[in-house]
Structures are given as C-alpha cells and as structure tokens.
Amino acid sequence: MDIGFLGMGTMGRPMARNIARAGYDVTVWNRSPGKAASVVAYGASEASDLSAVLEKPVVVSSLADDRAFADSVLSMSSLRAAKRGSVHVNLATVSPGMCAEAEAALNERGISYVAAPVFGRPEVAEAGELTVVAAGDAGAIDEVAPLLDAIGRRTWRIGDDAKQANIVKILGNYLIANAIQAMAEATTVVEKVGGSPELLMEVMNDSLFPGRVYGGYGKMIAQRRYEPAGFRLALGLKDVRLALSQARDAQLGLPFGSVLEDLFLDALAHGQADQDWCSITEATRRRAGLAGQ
C-alpha cells in the first residue's frame, strides 16, 4: 500500500513512524519543512510538493483544525492533484460540518473519505496503542483497516455517516476536559488547606479513578507539569467549542461547557496557549490566590 501522510505534528510524527515501521511505503509532507526526520529514519520519504502526497492511492492527514485541513486538502489545486479511486483518511478532530464538506467534495471526484479521529496522547501514539474511531464507506474502511491497526489498539466502527466519528471524538474530549477541571478543583482545594495534591491523586488513581485520564492527567495536574504539551491548550478550547456548537445544533445546553470555555480563555489570556490543555488548572489556582506558588 502506497501511502501519503500530511501533518508532522506531535501526533502525526509517531503515527507516520508506526505506519512506516509496519512496512508501508510512506511519503510525508508538512506545511513547515524539517519535521519529518524521525519518520524518514524509518524508511519514509519527504515530499516538498503537497501534490506528490495527494496523488497517492491512500492519503492520511493529521492536521490541527478545520482551516489547516481545508487549506491542504480541499483547495482547488489539492482536489485536482488527488487521485480518482483513492481513499482519504482524516485522523484529526475536525468539526462535523467540515467532515461533511470534505466527504462531499472528495466523493464528487471519486475519492472515498474515512473519518478516523484518535484518542490518545503522543506517548500512546508512539506505542501504537491509540483508540481509533472510524466512520464512512464500509469498503473504504476495510481497505485501510490494516493501516489503522498499525497505529491503534482497536478501531471502533461507528457507521457509514463519516461525521459521527467526529461527534464521538468531540464528546470524548469534552468529557476529558470536564475531568481535567474536576481534578483541578480538587487539587486546588487540598493545596489551599495545606494538603498534598500528589497524594490526593495517588489515592484517587489507586481506588476510585484508575485509568489513563485520571492517572495521566492527575499526575500532571498535581505536579503542575504542563510542558511539553501533548495536546495544546488552544486545541482544547477548539474542541470544547465544537462540543458547545454540536449541543446548540441539537437544542441542548452544556452548562459545564460554558464554564470550561471561560477557563480556557482565562488561561489563554495569561499566555498559556502552548502549554498542555490540563494547564487550565492554573486558572482555578489563580482564583484561589495560589498563582505563582
């Protein structure tokens, strides 16, 4: 299988490495050159021209947001370069609206579109243990299933409506954001009264909340360790807003979502854009008078 891979960010690089490790012919491209060395070391080649990647029979993209995806994949020049009969697999979290737009634009040119966003931080991606949520044409998913197996521990098939995969991913991230804030509040209270945030989270992770979200983020929050960012705070705000937008479309309110949006904006206003999204903890600490301690 000859694969083109777009996006050499913190998630794109380890996923592309694992695909190359699995023996596939991989050609990679990134908007900012020079980030693909660790993938090339596993036998991939780096293209200077986007069209050289888009013309492959299977194209995989891992781009930051709707705009980055649209600019790279849905521009007229990109659509002309894409090969009829190919499959495009989008591993990123984009809005359901962008997913529908991409599916329509690519299908019109005889290209299958598979939405396959992933759950997991960079270290999970490195281990090939991501959870993949896939939706779209069943035949296209069958075709790329071995590729998805190379990056993940399990692929969940959500159906033939591609945007449903993105809805599941958005709501999953919304749940994680709520868990982060719950831990931020609990650790701030225990710190304020002279206790140990780290010991609190050790007890919780050993008893009530074992698992990757409370275990991984709980330790980061208790230690106030927000760098290097596995998932930047600005991207967390994007996903909270996507969840709020989806709820509004369904005529539902997300009261906690509005609170989360305010906390993310507070953190951004304090220069935390490039920190991990669990750094919204600092917004709660500031409100408790613990800033800088």
Catalytic residue numbers read 169
Q: Are 221 and 191 in contact (CB under 8 A)?
A: no
Amino acid in position 140: A
Report yes or no: 262 and 278 within 8 Å, Cβ to Cβ.
no
Is the previous residue joined to 57 through a cis bond, with omega within 30 degrees of 0?
Answer: no
Give yes or no for a contact between 233 and 272, defined as CB atoms under 8 angstroms apart: yes
Cα(227)–Cα(61) distance, integer angstroms = 25
d(C-alpha 100, C-alpha 90), whole Å: 12
The CA distance from 260 to 198, in Å, is 23
